[in-house]
Amino acid sequence: MLRTFINVNQHISRKIGSIAPFTKDDIFARYEETVHRFMAPGQIVADIGGGKKSIITKYKEEFPGIQIYAIDISDKELEENSGADKKIVADVTKEIPLPDESVDMVISRSVLEHLQNQESFIKNCNHVLRSGGGGGGCFLTILRQVTRFRLVTRYLQL
């Protein structure tokens, strides 16, 4: 039954994609562009699921003083991350081991769908995010499943 649902969904997605040109957007590229647009010099950015590579480290020279904290549940993944300023091993559904209101932006890419307790994760992000101020309090995330339902990409534009 599940296989039938997946096959039907894929068939419908292809049909929609053939008539709706915006469904061909690269959602991961759009996500990265959006994160880049919110970045500013001197910010502290928590990259949840930053593991092997934080996607925004390539912008560090463009934003002097920016600090990128890669936070991941896997210490082995973090060992390979050479671009992060700080590497933190944590189960983000239990806590994000940073002081309250210490981060300007929290980003996550293809993380939410792997978490057992998404509500707890969102609450933990809220604790570490700065409120108000220059660019503070920005939370950007993307679900991997969205790439299968590309119709949604149109609504992710800010």
pLDDT at 95 over 90: yes
Could you tell me the pLDDT band of residue 153, with boundaries at 50, 70 and 90? very low
Q: Is the pLDDT of residue 147 over 50?
A: no
Kindly state the average pLDDT of the residues 129-137: 61
> HSE of 76 in the Cβ direction (CA atoms, 13 Å)?
0
Q: Express each pLDDT in 32-90 by its tens digit.
A: 888 888 899 999 999 999 988 888 999 999 999 999 999 999 999 999 999 999 999 99
- Beta-strand ranges (E) seen in 17-125 are 44-48, 67-72, 86-89, 105-109
Cα distances (angstroms) measured from residue 11 to each of 22, 124, 134, 150, 158: 18, 38, 45, 13, 29
Determine the residue type at 146.
Answer: V
Give the Cα separation of 54 and 34 in Å (integer): 15
Task: Give the pLDDT of residue 29.
Answer: 82
pTM of the model: 0.73
Q: 138 or 33, which is more confident?
A: 33
Question: Is the torsion defined by CA of 26, 31, 37, 42 positive or negative?
Answer: negative
Mean pLDDT of the chain: 78
User: What are the beta bridge partners of residue 105?
Assistant: 45, 138
